[in-house]
Amino acid sequence: MTTTAGTTAGPTARAGAHPLPTAPGALPVLGHALPLARDPLGFLSRLPARGDLVRVRIGPRTLVVVCEPELTRQVLLNDRVFDKGGPLSERGREVLGNALLTCSHAEHRRQRRQCQPSFQPPRMAAYAVSFTEAARTAVDDWHDGRELDVVPTMMALTVHTAVTTMFTTDAPAHAPLATSSLTDDIATVVEGVLRRALTPAFLRHVPTPERRRYDRAQVRLRTLLGGLVATRRTDADPPDDLLHALLSAGGLDSPDGTPRLTDAEAVDQLLTFLVAGVETTASALAWAWHLLARHPEVERRVHRELDDVLDGRPPAPADVPSLPTTANVLTETLRLYPPLWMMTREVTQDTVLGTFALPRGTVLGVSPYVIHRRPDVYPDPDRFDPDRWRDRRPDRAAYLPFGSGARKCIGDRFGVVQATLVLATIAARWRLVPSGGRPPRFSALSTLTPRGLRMRITDRGTRPTPGRPG
């Protein structure tokens, strides 16, 4: 492993720097775009053998992939030198606007202060109740032997949960928010971001059917959210949900004078929370069901834990600390299959990273998937082993499903608590067993998702006792 150095700028720092190795297999004009599109995870997994930083070509553009944990941490911690940029950030900005996930370093601190009140611990308790209720509602019509396409099922559940916590949708006027069209639009936008990032610029505006679906989905999502924001501004007695927290944060009476969000900024942030949060949580849950089905001994331990702790009642937010095995399953799932498997950054000044000179404008790729699969960091890295977290806390330098540093996902706790309570609510009553012989396909678009994951529901015979408090 390379001895790392701090990031410094100027000719002196560049004097002893090493040349960057290049990934093999580049094609004329396309570069490495074809192998990246065909098998992105396999392609990335081979890069650490080439060096700590490896040059990859995507059409006429160059991406430098960071393959070493400490160098990755330096990039994520120093967002002034390694700012948001590159093809993934650019395509994300097309969808989300200048929001928390896509804005530059100069904007990020202000936006973080504006959004942070929406995710404070006191609010998490109320959100967590919604997580459990949404999961219970989703499985009320399940029956023994029913077959599910797991990813769309988890997507519908997380969309319902997100809508409930963000917009308090118990009012009949808001019922259309929870329809399948919203789920489909979010999936279309998420899938389109990486596809467009790997598409050469001269082909990006060709009006293909995929492009038209992508554009229509963006318009529908923005129209819907814009209407909700406009309506809420006129509400004399607004519900205390995430939207209310977002619109009321800041202002002249705020301690630090942070301004309140404009309507356009609020729509950008809401769209970010929806697009970034829904599919990532749904993907993590889908992978968890897949892994539990393949490791029945772990599944049995999860069931014993749920039976012992819950004793027939539905899970409650206060139960989360008492479910370490369930939590470790999700921690290990996120290590093996981090939904956000690639991020890009742009170098804002001449600098050195480790022993490599990086001129201003260099685009870096940071892959949690690559770091999580390094055998020098995680012994037997391809093995599903929740017990590796029994006496070990995730290392901030080597466990990156939510990023790191100031740009770490603002909703990381929201997502973890949601996934834990959904998993506990369903697993306490049901088993999901594979149906059919085909394993799921990896789909590495903007999120890492198992496609074609079909499972059959089996009733465990443990019915929650109505009315028993959590």
Give the residue-averaged pLDDT of 18-43. Answer: 88
* Structural domains of the chain, count: 1
% of the chain surpassing 90 pLDDT: 48
pLDDT tens for each residue of 106-122: 999 989 988 988 888 88
Give the residue-averaged pLDDT of 96-109. Answer: 90
Give the residue-averaged pLDDT of 18-46. Answer: 89
Out of 183-187, 193-197, 210-214, 353-357, pick the least confident.
193-197
For tokens 């100031």, name the residue.
Answer: 406
Look over the chain and give the mean of its residue pLDDT values, rounded to a whole number.
Answer: 86
| pTM as predicted | 0.87
Give the residue-averaged pLDDT of 333-337. Answer: 97
Identify which of 103-107, 197-201, 202-206, 286-290 has the greatest average pLDDT: 286-290
pLDDT for the residue 12:
36
pLDDT for the residue 177:
52
56 in a domain, yes or no?
no
Greater confidence (45 vs 173) lies with: 45
Greater confidence (83 vs 316) lies with: 83
358 in a domain, yes or no?
no
pLDDT tens for each residue of 132-187: 888 888 888 899 999 999 999 998 899 888 888 888 754 444 444 545 688 888 88
369 in a domain, yes or no?
no
217 in a domain, yes or no?
yes
349 in a domain, yes or no?
no
CATH code, domain carrying 167: 1.10.630.10
pLDDT for the residue 276:
83
pLDDT for the residue 198:
65
Six-digit token string for 103: 């804005």
Greater confidence (126 vs 283) lies with: 283
pLDDT for the residue 2:
41
346 in a domain, yes or no?
no
Question: Does residue 204 contact residue 173 with C-beta atoms inside 8 Å?
Answer: no
pLDDT for the residue 129:
86
Greater confidence (12 vs 225) lies with: 225
For residue 107, what are the domain limits?
Answer: 101-341+375-459
125 in a domain, yes or no?
yes
pLDDT tens for each residue of 257-301: 678 889 999 999 999 988 888 889 999 999 999 999 999 999 999
189 in a domain, yes or no?
yes
